[in-house]
Amino acid sequence: DACGAVAGAADIALYRGQGYETIPSRGPLAANTVAGAVSGIGAALRLSARWGGRLGLARLFEDAVHYALNGFPVTGSQHANTVAKLPELADVPGFAATFLEDGEIPAVGAVFSNPALAETLTRIAKAGTDDFYRGDLARALAAALRRAGSPVAADDLARHRAIEVTPLKVRLETGTVYNLPPPTQGLASLIVLALFDRLDCHEADGFDHVHGLVEATKRAFRVRDSHVTDPAHMKIPPEHFLDGGRLDDMAATIDAARAMPWGTDPGAGDTVWLGAIDGEGRAVSFIQSIYWEFGSGVVLEDTGIVWQNRGTYLSLDEGALNPLAPGRKPFHTIQPAMAGLDDGRLMVYGTMGGEGQPQTQAAIYTRHVNFAQALQAAVTAPRWLLGRTWGDARTSLRIENRFDRAVIDALIAAGHDVELTAEFDEVMGHAGALVRHPSGLIEGAADPRGDGAAAGF
């Protein structure tokens, strides 16, 4: 858990005093929590060393440095997001200088580079990840944050540490599934699968499958939105909600034919998931996020670093479940998943997509494990999204139009507020998965909705 906490200077009075009713989603005041990803890399490297890992930071960063320095082709996703978000980001410190070319949005296929980021990565590779928080780089970052107008200071960086946590787990008929504890929504993902495991469904992508997972999601989100926060402030431990009896009671509230009314206002997110399995069967499910597209939009001068805006999820209401407070960790939508199956397979999987993450994880797991779909087919198959994703307030049930029309009509008849989307809609997230079979064969899948890939080395 490398989640960064709220800056010491970022309290409710800071924002209320400037006339804000909510935390800005862009700009320096959106950059109000410590960036924790670099500490997570350091913690992972130390864990790898205990496993006998032989690769140092210089080699691990080598390809990233190469592409940051020499460039890579602009993807359709980057171009579309720059077009869509430029009106709210154009005046944010450092954004235009980094993401525009002579004031224009780079075209798809144009070469995009970030030499300053290449230099920063090279510096971290030489000095170590701790330099980001307590070294010369930390002092440079703190100065750049101050000049940009962010409340994050040197003391905030120095206090930050990544920590090892015990994953949450739930036992299913097919195996044991693991996910991260709060402040992530990993609990919700486990509840969704555990509730579906208690339903009577035997066919992939039919009404029972989609309806069952959507209804399980509603129950899981109610728990999440009522209880999940910084673990230091949770009143009920997350394991309480994974008790078999409580899951039985929750599953019993699911009507096999009717949708439960839905209209909550949950959170958003933006993420990248990566998975890896080595030749000895050691597996990693990894996720990181800058929250919305381009995060806060603030690019720290001379570093190429885009600061995230995860703290915008927090509330300026002191009585809220997740209020803004110095030192508090914000709620995170991100949560990497792993499963040890009873037949000997090991599965790592995940996705970007805010509200969609637990839903997509459940779709991929049940398709592949419960219904024996090939892993790539499970990722490629049409998906759905209940609720909103980053920067979007809709709470309808969005469904890709590749679903059988009879399934769509049955969902509407059951009371779901269905909204059809494109065949492969990016709003459904960019998923990926790896499975190691008992034979040693590793099966991989990448999402055609995104820019990722599955590869062996």
For 183-241, how does the pLDDT look when each residue is reduced to its tens digit (9 = 90+)? 999 999 999 999 999 999 999 999 999 999 999 999 999 999 999 999 999 999 999 99
Which tokens is 59 given? 């080699």
pTM: 0.92
Q: Which domain holds residue 200?
A: 168-269+332-446
The single residue of 271, 312, 351, 380 carrying the catalytic annotation is 271
Same domain, 55 and 180: no
The structural domain count of the chain equals: 2
Work out whether the CA dihedral 222, 167, 56, 274 comes out positive or negative.
negative
How far apart are the C-alpha atoms of 198 and 76, rounded to whole Å? 41
Which tokens is 419 given? 């909204």
Same domain, 109 and 222: no
On the question of pLDDT at 268 being above 60, the answer is: no
For residues 211, 216, 219, 220, the Cα torsion angle rounded to the nearest 10 degrees is -140
How far apart are the C-alpha atoms of 305 and 252, rounded to whole Å? 48
Are the CB atoms for 235 and 227 separated by under 8 Å?
yes
Per cent of the chain over pLDDT 70 is 97
Same domain, 211 and 297: no
Does some domain include residue 282? Answer: no
Which tokens is 23 given? 């935390």
How far apart are the C-alpha atoms of 97 and 120, rounded to whole Å? 17
On the question of pLDDT at 263 being above 90, the answer is: no
Go through the chain and tell me how many residues it has. 457
Beta pairing partners, 347? 339, 435
On the question of pLDDT at 86 being above 90, the answer is: yes
Minimum mean pLDDT among 271-280, 322-331, 362-371: which range? 271-280
Does some domain include residue 407? Answer: yes
On the question of pLDDT at 114 being above 70, the answer is: yes
Which tokens is 215 given? 């209804």
Which tokens is 142 given? 């703190």
Count Cβ atoms within 10 A of the Cβ of residue 402 and give its class: 0-12 exposed, 13-18 middle, 19 or more buried.
middle
Same domain, 109 and 38: yes
Per cent of the chain over pLDDT 90 is 89
Report the greatest alpha carbon distance in the chain.
Answer: 62
Question: Residue 393's pLDDT band (boundaries 50, 70, 90)?
Answer: low
Known active-site residue 271:
yes
Same domain, 362 and 222: yes
Return the pLDDT at 183: 95
Minimum mean pLDDT among 320-324, 325-329, 338-342, 385-389: which range? 385-389
Span 310-329, pLDDT tens digits = 999 999 999 999 999 999 99
As a whole number, mean pLDDT of residues 117-125 equals 98
Same domain, 68 and 142: yes
Return the pLDDT at 439: 96
Does some domain include residue 83? Answer: yes
How far apart are the C-alpha atoms of 84 and 451, rounded to whole Å? 18
What CATH number is associated with residue 389?
1.10.246.130
Does some domain include residue 5? Answer: no
- Please give the residue that has the higher pLDDT: either 450 or 34: 34
How far apart are the C-alpha atoms of 177 and 340, rounded to whole Å? 6
Span 31-76, pLDDT tens digits = 999 999 999 999 999 999 998 888 999 999 999 999 999 999 999 9
Question: Residue 30's pLDDT band (boundaries 50, 70, 90)?
Answer: very high
Are the CB atoms for 293 and 81 separated by under 8 Å?
yes
Q: How far is the CA of 307 from the CAs of 202, 245, 304, 397, in angstroms? A: 45, 43, 10, 32
Same domain, 146 and 181: no
Does some domain include residue 220? Answer: yes
The H or E element containing residue 434 is strand 431-436
Does some domain include residue 200? Answer: yes
Which tokens is 237 given? 């431990």
Does some domain include residue 250? Answer: yes
Same domain, 44 and 138: yes
How far apart are the C-alpha atoms of 311 and 328, rounded to whole Å? 10
Local structure of residue 332 (DSSP, 8 states): B
Pairing relationship of beta strands 397-400 and 418-421 according to DSSP bridges: parallel
As a whole number, mean pLDDT of residues 245-272 equals 82
Does some domain include residue 281? Answer: no
Same domain, 140 and 157: yes
Same domain, 242 and 382: yes
Same domain, 212 and 114: no
Which tokens is 392 given? 């979007």
Count Cβ atoms within 10 A of the Cβ of residue 100 and give its class: 0-12 exposed, 13-18 middle, 19 or more buried.
middle
Domain boundary residue, one of 313, 348, 366? 313
Same domain, 214 and 158: no
